[in-house]
Amino acid sequence: MKTFDSTLNESYQDRLGHNIASRLTDSTQNLPNDISERLKAARMQALAMRKVVKLQTASDINMNGGAGTLNMGGSDNGLWTRLGSFIPLVALVVGLLAIAVVQEQRRVDEIAEIDIELLADELPPAAYTDPGFLHYLNANRRD
């Protein structure tokens, strides 16, 4: 039922477009010369600026187990085509490795900063007499 409605709709649109075009064509006879020349120049500019669409047809159809694929632009599976599809993967892996290295270096720098602050601090004399501190030192020596 939808196809019948869409066919009627398309035929109505076609008739409407033809009616509008014929009315515009009829009314151009009554326009002054300067307006018709300006319209002609604008039409020529619009035609000069339009984009030309180049259609590319499928040159090869591969069937594999009931699934078909279209190859556009020939079946050129040369070195450059393979490199072109492999380079983004290499760039992704290199980027992920670089991120991992930078994050690890930041962690090491943070830990080193904390160690420097702890070692540079002066311990109060009471810290050496604290039994918990002695236990902490002994536990670190065994590890």
Residue at 119 is within a domain:
yes
Distance CA 25, CA 33 (A): 15
Residue at 19 is within a domain:
yes
Contacts of residue 114, defined as CB under 8 A and 6 or more positions apart, other chains included, come to none
Residue at 88 is within a domain:
no
Residue at 71 is within a domain:
no
How many independent structural domains does the chain possess? 2
**Cα-based distances in Å from 14 to 18, 21, 22, 93:** 6, 11, 12, 55
Residue at 22 is within a domain:
yes
Based on C-alpha coordinates, what's the Rg of the chain?
A: 39
Residue at 85 is within a domain:
no
Range of the domain at 3: 1-47
Residue at 100 is within a domain:
yes
pLDDT the model gives residue 60? 56
Residue at 130 is within a domain:
yes
The pLDDT tens digits for 96-141 are 999 999 999 999 999 898 888 777 777 777 777 788 877 777 776 6
Asked whether the whole model's pTM tops 0.85, one would answer no
The pLDDT tens digits for 5-39 are 666 688 888 898 888 888 877 777 787 888 888 88
